[in-house]
Amino acid sequence: MSRVIVVGGGLSGLSAAHTALERGASVLVLDKNPFFGGNSTKATSGINGAGTNTQSELSIPDSAKIFFEDTKKSARDLARPDLIKVLTGRSGEAVNWLQDRFGLDLSKVSRLGGHSQPRTHRGGAQFPGMTITYAQMEKLEDLAESDPERVQIIKKARVTSLIYENGEVKGVEYETAGQKHQERGAVVLATGGYAADFDDVNSLLKKHRPDLVHLPTTNGDHCTGDGQKMVASIGGRLIDLEKVQVHPTGLVDPRDPDAKVKFLAAEALRGCGGLLLDNEGQRFADELGHRDYVTGRMWENNKFPVRLVLNGAASKEIEWHCKHYEGRGLMRRFEGGDALAKEIGIPADKLKATFEDYNAIATGKKKCPFNKKFFHNADMRMNDTFYVALMTPVLHYTMGGLEIDPTSRVIDSQGKPIPGLFASGEIAGGVHGANRLGGSSLLGCVVFGRVAGDSATAFLLNQYTSGKAASRVGQVAQHLETTVRVNPENYNVNLTFSWAGQQQAGAGASGALQQSSAPVQQAAQAQTEGNASAGPAAQKAPPQKAEENKGSKTYTMDEVAKHSKESDVWVVVGDQVLDVTNFLPDHPGGPKAILLYAGKDATEEFDMMHDRAVIKRYAADAVIGSIAK
């Protein structure tokens, strides 16, 4: 066994990789896509955490026990208390780790549906899933460049099978650039769910939930259950595959209402006070109920189109999201209730009555027919401004997957752990039971990613120190004095072994032997050197990184506007002109996100989503010049 092999470069895989590095292992991360990120970058509401530093600063009386009970209630009859205990019990340290290790802003906390306390953390701008995942992604790529012996990354690498010998997983087989390779080591699968598995031949979705296949999805086309299918082929146990979460608030694009892939309206929009109104301007549900409940009420009420309505105070609290959705044409701003009533197609007095009824409920003067308990920014007035979007239920998350134990070991059909195989993130079933709470997707990725990284590293260390190796290490250790030095910036662990016997002999040198890492890394180096089937040289990370080429030519906006077709796309970001035609297929957010701004100035929208540094890091070759002043 050589090193920890992480399959999947989303938040869960990245968390596993960083944790393995912290524990002294070396890692190889494989991803079938051109970029890391996965579905994690699309998460819009935040990450849950109980007992966090931020909650303490805000005097929020939350605890792991309260969070455990909320999660258990949401999971219903499929609750796994052993897994829920890990998820909720390690949630606070997970959020603190993200803030401390990666310098993330998670200073805003909101209450989502099904939570008895505000515990969903996000920053002041940009989608939290993107900021959290990008921070880990960029740090890992930088480490791969500065310390390639310990961190290797290969993108566009599709893992095709697990190396399974004598009841144990020994590594993976994968394909990249038309070539097949093998890599041996402990394996962490973090390949995501199957909510975009629409394959005609081997679809988990069609097999277990054919009634939902007609729905649109928020998932990328990479979410096809690859990992689940690989593990099933070696006798792994899959559980709860029929438990597919249908999120109530997918955003309908009026220009393409039947699109199969849709953006998600963050649950935080309802947490900040957003109301759901049917085509008669009436409420029909507790907006902060569990997701499956809200979706069920939408279908039972069956008065579409359904609109999400935020008043001025609510939209101000989550302003960045509203402006982002508005920029994409998915949300509209209305000046006053009369304009909104006209849009819905009802008399203004009818909408006013809905608002007055809700205000009475929020102030305790009336009982809510849907038993809503929490009210935020609840003063609805006709003379306010409103942000409004059309909603539809969407496939969003798969609760089913590989059965794991609390240490992220994958379980076989006999109920026993498969040695050498670990899983984390959406591929792991049972963590959320019958229904996942909002904000627990990112949390599950971080918590069980870290658990899997821990467990895989411990497994490698056990392999290295077992049998004769353990005996030899024990004999040598009796004669060694050990000094440990940890560099927190790059995870290097330096062990200095001083042999007292040599020092007493009066050798000219100190007699000290310095090694670059813990025994796990020594084993990795030895195995890699002797592994004839090892894969290609790892890509430099990031593989697209190059010197920024601003070009010497300048262009006018009229010239840029001529390049507005899918076969010829230019955009302006700041003072730079980019030809992104060849980048379209690789864009993690899909081609449509760029095509909205084809031939236009995309600066405002770009700055909402990214730091300008990502151009130099990932798309330096796309810069063809600057915009004329």
Please give the structure tokens belonging to residue 187. Answer: 């394996």
| Rg (alpha carbons) of the chain, rounded to whole number | 26
The overall average pLDDT reported for the chain is 90
- At 483 the pLDDT is 54
CA dihedral over 587, 589, 592, 594, signed as positive or negative: negative
- Round to whole Å and give the CA distance between 127 and 58: 21
Mode of pairing for the β-strands spanning 623-627 and 47-48:
unpaired
- Round to whole Å and give the CA distance between 369 and 347: 23
- Domain ranges in the chain? 3-243+399-462, 245-395, 554-627
119 carries an active-site annotation: no
In this structure, whether the domain defined by 3-243+399-462 belongs to CATH 3.50.50.60 is answered with yes
Does residue 155 surpass a pLDDT of 50?
Answer: yes
Question: What confidence tens digit (pLDDT) does each residue in 533-590 have?
Answer: 456 655 554 444 444 445 679 999 999 999 999 999 999 999 999 999 999 988 887 8
Residue 290: φ, ψ to 5°: -55, 155
Classify 581 as helix, strand or coil. Answer: coil
Does residue 505 surpass a pLDDT of 80?
Answer: no
Kindly name the residue from 3, 80, 121, 270 that is annotated as catalytic. Answer: 270
Please give the structure tokens belonging to residue 93. Answer: 């340290």
Tokens 């039972």 — which residue? Answer: 300
Return the CATH fold of 554-627: Flavocytochrome B2; Chain A, domain 1 (3.10.120)
531: left (phi over 0), alpha (psi -120 to 50) or beta: beta
Q: What are the DSSP calls for 409-456, one per residue?
A: EEEBTTS-EEEEEEE-GGGEESSSTT-PPTTHHHHHHHHHHHHHHHHH
The answer to whether 293 touches 276, Cβ cutoff 8 Å, is no
The dotted CATH code for 245-395 is 3.90.700.10
Instruction: For residues 151-155, give the mean pLDDT.
Output: 98
What is the separation of C-alpha 376 from the centre of its chain, rounded to a whole number of angstroms?
27
Question: What confidence tens digit (pLDDT) does each residue in 255-314 have?
Answer: 999 999 999 999 999 999 999 999 999 999 999 999 999 999 999 999 999 999 999 999
Mode of pairing for the β-strands spanning 179-189 and 417-423:
parallel
Does residue 96 surpass a pLDDT of 50?
Answer: yes
List Cβ neighbours of 478 (8 Å cut-off, separation of 6 or more): none
Mode of pairing for the β-strands spanning 275-277 and 306-310:
antiparallel
Does residue 610 surpass a pLDDT of 90?
Answer: no
- At 472 the pLDDT is 56
Question: What confidence tens digit (pLDDT) does each residue in 197-207 have?
Answer: 998 889 999 99
User: What angle, 0 to 180 degrees and rounded to 10, lies between the N-to-C axes of helices 91-102 and 128-146?
Assistant: 60
Least-confidence region, from 47-56, 233-242, 513-522, 593-602: 513-522
Q: What percent of the chain has pLDDT over 90?
A: 79
Does residue 396 surpass a pLDDT of 60?
Answer: yes
Kindly name the residue from 122, 247, 321, 432 that is annotated as catalytic. Answer: 247
- Round to whole Å and give the CA distance between 619 and 382: 47
- By residue count, the chain amounts to 629
Does residue 519 surpass a pLDDT of 90?
Answer: no
Classify 100 as helix, strand or coil. Answer: helix
18 carries an active-site annotation: no
**Nearest CA to 10 among 360, 423, 376, 409?**
423
Question: What confidence tens digit (pLDDT) does each residue in 279-290 have?
Answer: 999 999 999 999
Helix (H) or strand (E) holding 48: strand 47-48
Question: What confidence tens digit (pLDDT) does each residue in 75-85 have?
Answer: 999 999 999 99
The answer to whether 421 touches 428, Cβ cutoff 8 Å, is no
- At 592 the pLDDT is 85
